[in-house]
Structure formats: structure tokens, C-alpha cells
Amino acid sequence: MTLLSRRAPSVQYPLRRSRVLGALLLAFLLTGAGVVTAWVSSGARDVVLSAAVALGLWLSAAAGAAHFWWGQPRGVLQFDGQAWTLGQTAKSFSGPLALSVPPEVLLDLQAHLWLRVVPIGHACQWLWLERSSQPERWMDLRRAVYSRDRVLTTLTKPPDKLLQGVNPEYP
């Protein structure tokens, strides 16, 4: 069996806004509001100025979190066995965007994946994927996302390291 004989399966996985991610962002915002309230009520020096600055910072964080959540792409993440594409459903959508590099896993919680993707000619995007979106394809997606590491590592090893352990006479 050759090193590349086992390839990851082709997979299409739906993208949508996650309620779990929305709940996490809301929990962080409410925690931040509680911390700001406790700080101001505990006797910050200039209470009015401190409260105004803290409220402004919290509102900025809330706006950023809302923008991030509402801006989550909807569509499909697709791997055809060779390349990754990101198909988004939007009014200005003109077709699937090829990714310049395979998705990078930022966080893996088994039932949730946080990925960073870079469509060619576009800014990077963060995707939050959930098993509940399509449970029957979840393991195929995970195999496809993680398979590239093994293949790329194998291909980037120096030739003398590839043969190590294959022939007992080889050092």
C-alpha cells in the first residue's frame, strides 16, 4: 500500500449560523456586563467617567460579537478529494470560492469545529461547524479536515526519513 492510497472522502458540509456560538457569545457579553457593573459599583474613582468609558468599551465588544455572529457564512464547505471550496448563499454570490490552503482547525470540541479558511483573493474567515448540522457526514468532514496533516507531513519529510523503519538494514 502506498502512502497516498488512503484518501479522505469527498464531503459537502452545510454552513449556517450556530445557536451554540450565539449562546457562547451572549454568555461572554453578559459576564462582561456583570464585571463592568461590579467594577463601577465597587467605587471606581470618577464614577461617571469610568462608567461611560466601560459602557463604551462593552458596547464596542457587543457590536463586534453581533457583527461576527451575523456575518457567519451560510452555504456549504466542500472537499472533492483534491481541493476545498467554500460555497456561500448570498445575494452577491457568484459561485464557490476555492481555498488557498486547506482549513486550519482552531478548536476541536468533538461535536463542534472552529475552522479558519482562506478563500483565494479574499480575507480569511472563521467557520463554526456543528455535528448537528448533518450528523451522517460529520465523521467524513473530520477525516477530510485532519487527513491533510498526515499527507503533507509525509510529503515534506526528507527522503531518508521516509524509508526509516521500512527496511531493517536502513539506519
pLDDT of the chain, 171 residues: tens digit per residue: 455 556 778 899 999 999 999 999 999 999 999 998 888 888 767 778 888 888 999 999 999 999 999 988 889 999 988 899 998 765 455 678 899 999 999 999 999 999 999 999 888 999 999 999 999 999 999 999 998 644 444 344 454 544 454 444 544
Looking at the fold, whether 36 and 105 belong to one and the same domain comes out as no
Nine cell digits for residue 93: 454570490
Round to whole Å and give the CA distance between 161 and 156.
10
Domain-embedded: residue 125: yes
Looking at the fold, whether 111 and 127 belong to one and the same domain comes out as yes
Domain-embedded: residue 132: yes
Q: Kindly compute the dihedral angle of the four CA atoms of residues 148, 101, 129, 138, in this order, to the nearest 10 degrees.
A: -30
Res 90: pLDDT: 58
pTM score: 0.70
Looking at the fold, whether 48 and 119 belong to one and the same domain comes out as no
Res 3: pLDDT: 53
Residue 146 sits at the vertex; the CA angle it makes with 73 and 16, to the nearest 5 degrees, is 15
Q: How many CB atoms lie within 10 A of CB 148?
A: 16
Nine cell digits for residue 87: 460555497
Residue 133, domain extent = 11-17+73-157
Nine cell digits for residue 40: 463601577
Domain end call among 33, 50, 70 = 70
Domain-embedded: residue 163: no
Q: Is the dihedral of CA 40, 45, 49, 53 positive or negative?
A: negative
Res 66: pLDDT: 95
C-beta of residue 97 within 8 angstroms of C-beta of residue 72: no
Looking at the fold, whether 54 and 82 belong to one and the same domain comes out as no
